[in-house]
Structure 1
Amino acid sequence: MSPTVRGFLIGVVTVAAVAGAAAYAYVGAGLYPIGADVPHAPLTLHMIDRLRDSATERAAQSVRVPANLDDASMVASGAREYAEECTGCHLAPDQTHSALRAGLYPQPPDLGHEGIDNDAEAFWIIKHGIKMSAMPAWGRTHSDPQLWSLVAFLRKVPNMTPAQYHVLAGDDKALAPDVPAH
């Protein structure tokens, strides 16, 4: 190895070590604003989003999606589960806000209106959760069939009216669909 290349590599390693030590000291000093009411710096947010998206996409590659996700009873079961466990953060078709959601950062996706893009990834996220996002690992308390019913429901919710949702969820709002959401 030539002296020029060796000098360059030593310089790169030195700069990386100093940058790493500085970052570690910054984190250790508690200077980063960790409160959920202060947004991340743009670079931090970009890195977190990239980490989450890449990691969940990779982890979901081994998930096998069942063929029966269009089964009406599975969708209805998912709607009931969603109404019970998920609307506080992810909203229902007739919700635009919730007190719990207002305090969350990062803001969870509005699944009550948007649904999901990838069945396997949605299942993996519901089952394993996402660190530092308030998304719990429902796989610790729910069976895989229960989690797949949520995925089945989330595939259908973007095309549901609030009244259809409430009928599937089995609640009394189905009897009075014109009542505005709180």
Structure 2
Amino acid sequence: MSTPTRLIAVLLGLLVVLGIGATVFVRSGMYNMGADAPHAPLTLTLLENLRDNATKAYSRNIVVPDLESPAQIAQGARLYSTRCTGCHLAPGVAQSELRTGLYPQPPDLSTDGIDDTAEAFWIIKHGIKMSAMPAWGKTHTDAEIWSAVAFLRKLPGMSPAQYQQLAHANPAQ
């Protein structure tokens, strides 16, 4: 057997052994999937990289509209106050019962904000698998989702009073 043929045979054998090992591991149930048990460091790193790279790739071609309308921002504040604060908190709210049991912990958008507007739209619209982040695009229009993004751009640094005033403003005003 020639050296290249032997190398291919060894690599194929290694792939078969790895495949069998992965199958045994997955079928064994030994990996704790409980939300109260953190991932192993390697698993967490892989999942975070997969999430971050996928959301960047899928949001790359989204065209961001003008998001400066006060009415749009106020609509986003109302949506955020009713749909998002249980997980992502609000100014003056340090923790919630729902958030306490989530793993991984969602970002505190009242302090962290969003890094990329198009990516935030994609995440809100499509959700994130196995993270408790729902796909709001199933129940909300793109215009509603953009209003939430418009608000999220303004949220960090907002005082609790400013947040409450905006989140509970009368839409007719």
TM-score range with shorter-chain normalisation? over 0.9
TM-score by length of 1: 0.89
**Corresponding residue for 1:44?**
43
Q: 1:18 deviation in Å?
A: 1.1
Question: Which structure has the highest helix share of the two?
Answer: 1
Aligned to 2:86, which of 69, 73, 88? 88
Contact 1:64 / 1:120 at 8 angstroms: preserved in 2?
yes
Q: 1:7 deviation in Å?
A: 1.4
Mind listing any 5+ residue stretches in structure 1 that lack a counterpart? 172-182
**What is the identity, as a one-letter code, of the residue corresponding to 1:4?**
T
**What is the identity, as a one-letter code, of the residue corresponding to 1:150?**
A
Cα deviation digits, residues 134-169 of structure 1 (max 9, x gap): 000000000000000010011111131111111000
SS in structure 2 at match of 1:158: coil
**Corresponding residue for 1:166?**
164
Q: Which runs of 4+ in 1 moved over 2 A?
A: none
CA RMSD in angstroms, aligned pairs only: 1.2
**Corresponding residue for 1:16?**
15
Whole-angstrom distance in 2 between the partners of 1:17 and 1:46? 25
**Corresponding residue for 2:63?**
64
Contact 2:90 / 2:109 at 8 angstroms: preserved in 1?
yes
**Corresponding residue for 1:139?**
137
Whole-angstrom distance in 1 between the partners of 2:145 and 2:51? 20
Q: 1:4 deviation in Å?
A: 1.2
Whole-angstrom distance in 2 between the partners of 1:38 and 1:97? 19
Whole-angstrom distance in 1 between the partners of 2:153 and 2:34? 33
Q: Which has the higher contact order (CA 8 A, sep 6+)?
A: 2
Whole-angstrom distance in 2 between the partners of 1:164 and 1:84? 16
**Corresponding residue for 1:175?**
none
Q: Percent identity?
A: 54
Contact 2:110 / 2:157 at 8 angstroms: preserved in 1?
no
Whole-angstrom distance in 1 between the partners of 2:16 and 2:89? 45
**What is the identity, as a one-letter code, of the residue corresponding to 2:59?**
A
SS in structure 1 at match of 2:94: coil
SS in structure 2 at match of 1:113: coil
Whole-angstrom distance in 2 between the partners of 1:163 and 1:147? 24
Contact 1:114 / 1:157 at 8 angstroms: preserved in 2?
no
Aligned to 2:71, which of 70, 73, 92? 73
**Corresponding residue for 1:179?**
none
**Corresponding residue for 2:127?**
129
Aligned length: 169
**Corresponding residue for 1:30?**
29
Contact 1:78 / 1:146 at 8 angstroms: preserved in 2?
yes
Q: 1:9 deviation in Å?
A: 2.2
**What is the identity, as a one-letter code, of the residue corresponding to 2:116?**
N
